[in-house]
Every structure is written in structure tokens, then in C-alpha cells.
A and B are shown apart, each in its own frame.
Chain A
Amino acid sequence: MNDQGYVMSLTSFLLIIPAFLLLIIFINMSVGIISFQEAILASDDVVGVSKDLESQLPKIGQEVIKNKSEEVIESGNPLSNSREVIRDEMQDKIDIWCLKYNKDQINAHCEILGVDNSQDPFQIEIKSRINVQKDEIKHSFNLIQKISLINESFPIMDPLPFLKCKKHGGATIGKDKILYGSSLSKYLKSSGLNNSQAYENATSPLYIKKCPYDPYELHGSTSDLANIKNCIDNGFYHESNDGACFFCRLEGHGVCPHYGFETFILPAPSANITFLNNSSILAISSIDHVIFNETSFGAYYGHLIVYFYDDTHCFHLFLDDSHRKKYGLPPHG
């Protein structure tokens, strides 16, 4: 080294290069760790949003079914393709819900692939595909969910009677019951069926509820028919191969090829006590898919059966032998 020390200055210049190299390496590592952490956070966000959507879909579905059913009842107009209509309405609602994630730079999209019957007629099945993306993280999965029609917090009304009786005066809503007034007997008369006046002032249940008296033979298992009286008082629905499913009810069909449900349509209690002894009176069978049957051979008659009588009135139904057997009731004769 001389007095001016120029060698060291060159060396110190050369020293800077490895120092820079080290600095670059460490900065790279820390940036790498930071982006790794960011990816984890983004991934957590994406999973959270997809779980959110998964839990929101059934709630939206429940609302849509309830609203559509009420709309159909109020307007009296059947839906042309109930599955498509419900699917589209659910799609609109979930699209609006997905928009709220945009402010967090999360791109969420749920595509409702289809809405259809489930194995349980009191449930409907929704197939959907959920796609969520944030930055580079994507999550996509298919989902099949079931929505119950018998949820107590979202009671669903049966639209079929309102659609069928609209042209004949319309049915009205009483407390938990559908009141037909004269509309049902006019409907039966216009279909060319005998003894349509038996259904003057008939009633049927308003909300869809599942019958607990399962197996159904329990309805008639007691001599005083207490079980079937209680079932009728509560207005329960029963699983039935011939009964219309919920989608077909929205379309105004009384029967359909899908596994559906049925309920009793009750003639008004009679003040005529001679009914008690006259079980040969015939009228169309008091089951909704028989009364609202669209084909001429699908409507069949049943004999009178009294399930309760008090001092003044006689509570009765008309049931054919096959339904009597289904509900464990004694056959006619």
C-alpha cells in the first residue's frame, strides 16, 4: 500500500460485488417467503368464500321455492317449466350474492347446473358448480345439495288446488287450510263426474307436511280410527307413486311420472247423521291426485267412510279399496 492507498480502493470496489450478491440473495429469499405467505392467505380466502357459497345455496333455494309457490298461488297461472324457472331464479340470486366478493378481488361464480326431484319426494336436489379465484389461486368443485320442502321455518304451500280451481271460482286460504267453496264441485261437474256436490265446501291442507304415521297402515290400525283422524286434522302429506311431485304441482299437473306425494281432500262435515249408516254412497275418491287427474280413466270412485262423529256432525271421506289398503282401513263391504 502506498500513501494514496489506491489498491484498497480498487479492492473495496471489488468487495462491493459479493456484498451486493449476498444482498440480492437474501432479498430474493425474503420476497419468496412473503409471496408464499400471500399465496397461503389467498388460498384461505378462496376456501372461505367457497364454503360460504356452499352454505348459502340451500338458503337461497328455500327462499326461491317458497316465493315461487306463493307467486303461482296468487297469480293462478302455472309455470311452464318449473325446473327451469326455479333454476334461473336461483342463478340470478346467487349471481347477486357473488358480486359482493368482488371488492376483495375475489372472483366467485356459482353455476346452477340443474334443479330436479330427489329420491325423497319431500326434498329437491340442486346440482351446481362453484368456481372461486383470487390472484393465481383457483378452486372449482361440483356440489349436489338437497333442500327440504317440509322445513318448519320455511313452510311451503301446495299450489296445485289453486291452479286447478282457478277457472271455477278459485280456492281461498283459510287458517292452515285451503277452502274450496263451490269451486271444487264445479270443477268435478265440468269433468263429467257424478256426485260432485259431495265436495261442496271441501277443504284440504295448505302447507306441505310429512306424515309421521309411517308405515301408513298405522292410520287404520285402531278401531276408532283415531290415527287417521289425527292425520287429517294435521293435514299431513303422504309419499305416493301416483301423486304429483312438487315441480309438477307448480306446473298444474295432478299426476306425473315422478315419485310424489298425496293428501286427503276433505268433503265438508255433514249434519246428516244417516251418513253413518250409509256406506254405499259413492263419490270420487278423496285423494288429490284422483280428484285433479287429467285423464278420464284416472278418476275413480270410492265409498263413504266415516272417521269421526260428534253430536252434530259426521266427518267422512270417500276412499277406494286400493287407498283403503294403503292406509290400513277396512275395505268397503
Chain B
Amino acid sequence: MFDNNVIEEKRGMVFSTDLMMALIIITVVLGVSADAMDNVGSQIQDYCYANSLDRITTAAADMMIKDPGEPENWEELGNFDGVIPGLADVDQLNKGVTQKTLSLQKIKCLKENYDELMKGKILPPYCDSSLTICPVDSSIEPVAMGKISTSASDIIVINRTVLCNFYNANIIVCMNPMKCNSNTPQPKQEGYICPHQDKTGNHSHIWVDYPNKKSGWTCHPFRVTQDMLNSGDFYLMTDPSYVTDNSAVWIIDSPENITKETNHFKNQPILLNDVIKNCIGNKSTCILWLHVFSSGTTQKAFNTYLTVYPKGTSVETVKIQYLNPQPCYFIFKVST
């Protein structure tokens, strides 16, 4: 086909109509592809930009949740120069608790000095942010700080679940008798020998034995000082709150003043300040013992906690579920 036309045609077709139309089509196609590349390039740039703010926010949230800050007790210092804030609770970190726990004191300190601590230290100065720590349990009030402008073009929101100890309860004694009685083959230390003894000096509070369903005692020492009595309220709590074991009783005494007077558990936390005041007397510091008697029946087993709450804490907030850090939502919003 090609050959015939070349042989037959004597005029050289340099620029014909169809070539022009073909060139138009090629130009259109090239233009479209160039435009597409341009589009892709700007989309990538947008993606990176969004990602970068996303990355800043994620990194800031990670830093606040996982890091206790530098130095670790930054909330106690008056001056924040050279301080890097962080909200992780150092005690829980040291205990090796894997779930991230925040410290209420650090949160409060951050709330009071939000702008000074956030801009330039955790977030770049051109970013606005707000932080809300909202407990899952709706009866506890959330803590909110910071402000973002609602007209901002990009707002990145991070929502994480963390733990936070809202009530600052200090567990002094935790008795979990079932754990002590687990059937592990390795030799275990059985419990403490309390000062209660019979005439021959033998330990009279025989340990409870859950595997063999034998009733008995679980005893644990704890240290009390006058300062603790003045600044805190001592409560005795059980888990579950309603103790089904009818023979369960408790005693608190000191080695020099052993008492056989037992007390029953009530279905609510028991305030112990008077009992402890009687035991400690005028001494500045004293070691007391908590003795708990249980029947040894697995179905009626319960845990006992002796806790200290800051003085004046209302009884409604003294609950087992608030002893351990409570889950809450960490809602962090960042905008430019």
C-alpha cells in the first residue's frame, strides 16, 4: 500500500491535512499526560503535607503518652526552662506496667501552663492544639486544656485509650489469698508470720488454704506514720464489695498490742482512721498488721485492700474500680 503511493505520487507530502490532525491529537494527548503528571505531583505534595502534620501530631501524642518528660519530676519544678513535658506516670513505668498510664499531677501542671509547655517544645510554634482527657466512666469529670481555631483548614485528631489514676489512691496492702495458694510446683514463700502466737510462741494465725478448703488467716504488715494519718483517710475495701463469706473477719493491731477482737466486713468501704489512731498512739511511725480470716472456700474468696485517700475524699468516690488507674480517652487535636 505504502509502496504504490510513493511510486505513483510525484508531489512530496511534507505537510498534509491528516498529518496536521494527527499532530493535534498527539499534542492533546501529550498535554493531558503532562497535566496528569502535574496533578499527581501536587497530590503527592498534598499527601506529604497532610502526612507531615499527621506525623507531627502522632509524634507529639506518642511523646506525651509514653514519655514521663525530662526531668521526670518536671511538674514539681517551678521553672519550665529546658524542660520537656511528658505525661507518663513514672511509678507505673518502673513497675513495668505495659498499658500506658498518665499521671494526674502532670496533667494538672500541663493544664495550668499549656501554651508555654506545648509550643516550641512538643509542637512547632505555628500549630495550635487542644487536649481533652475524658474518662470512660462518665461520673468522673474530664480534663480539657488548650484551644484550636475552628476555622483552620486542617485539623488532625488523635484519639487514644490510656489509663489515668484520677483519685490518687494509694494501696498500702493488697491481699489476694487465692494467688498465694496457687498450685505451682516450685517452692513458694507462703505469707507473713504475724505476731499472733500462742503460749509456746507458735504462730497462732494459721494460713488459709484454698486448695484444701481449710479456713485460716492472711496477715500483712504495713507502715503508718503520723503524717499519713493527718493527711489521709484510711479505708478497708474488698473485691467484691459484698462479702458472701459469713466467717470473714478482720483485725488491725500492732505487735506490742495484740488484740483478738475481730470486726466484720460491711458491704461498703470501712473508714479506719480511728482504729489506726488507737494502734499507733503517740508514736511517729509504727508497723501495724492487718489480719483477715476467711473460710477457704473458693467461691466465697475475696481480695482485701487497705488504701489511703487524700484527706476529705468523699465516700462516693471510694470504690474498688477507682483504685487502679481508670481507662480514659486521650483526645488530642492539632491545627495550623
A residues within 8 Å of B by Cβ? Answer: 1-2, 4, 6-8, 10-11, 14-15, 18-19, 21-22, 25-26, 29, 55, 58, 152-153, 155, 176, 207, 209, 212-215, 218, 221-224, 226-227, 229-230, 233-234, 308, 310-313, 315
Contacts and interface: CB of A to CB of B under 8 A. Distances in A.
B195 interface: yes
B193 A222 contact: no
A310 B287 contact: no
B22 A152 contact: no
Interface string B22-47: 10011001101100110010001000
B286 interface: yes
Interface string B1-12: 110010000000
- The interface size bin for chain B is 35 or more
B189 A209 contact: yes
B30 A18 contact: yes
B25 A11 contact: yes
A104 B200 CA distance: 64
A207 B19 contact: no
Interface of B: 1-2, 5, 16, 18-19, 22, 25-26, 29-30, 32-33, 36-37, 40, 44, 96, 98, 187-190, 192-195, 199-201, 203, 221-223, 255-256, 258, 283, 285-287
A25 B44 CA distance: 13
Nearest to B20: A7
Contacts of B96: 55, 58
B33 A18 contact: yes
Nearest to A207: B189
A315 B201 CA distance: 10
Contacts of A223: 256
B96 to A, nearest CB: 7
Given A222-B256, A224-B256, A227-B287, A1 B33 contact: no
Contacts, number: 96
Contact of B223 (A11, A15, A214): A214
29 contacts: A1-B18, A2-B5, A2-B18, A4-B2, A4-B5, A6-B1, A7-B19, A8-B18, A10-B22, A11-B25, A18-B32, A21-B33, A22-B36, A25-B37, A29-B40, A29-B44, A152-B188, A155-B187, A155-B188, A215-B285, A218-B287, A222-B255, A222-B256, A229-B195, A229-B201, A229-B255, A230-B193, A230-B255, A310-B200
A230 B22 contact: no
Given A21-B33, A58-B96, A218 B286 contact: yes
Nearest to B19: A7
Given A55-B98, A227-B256, 7 more contacts: A15-B26, A25-B36, A155-B189, A176-B190, A222-B256, A226-B255, A311-B199
Given A15-B25, A58-B96, A227 B33 contact: no
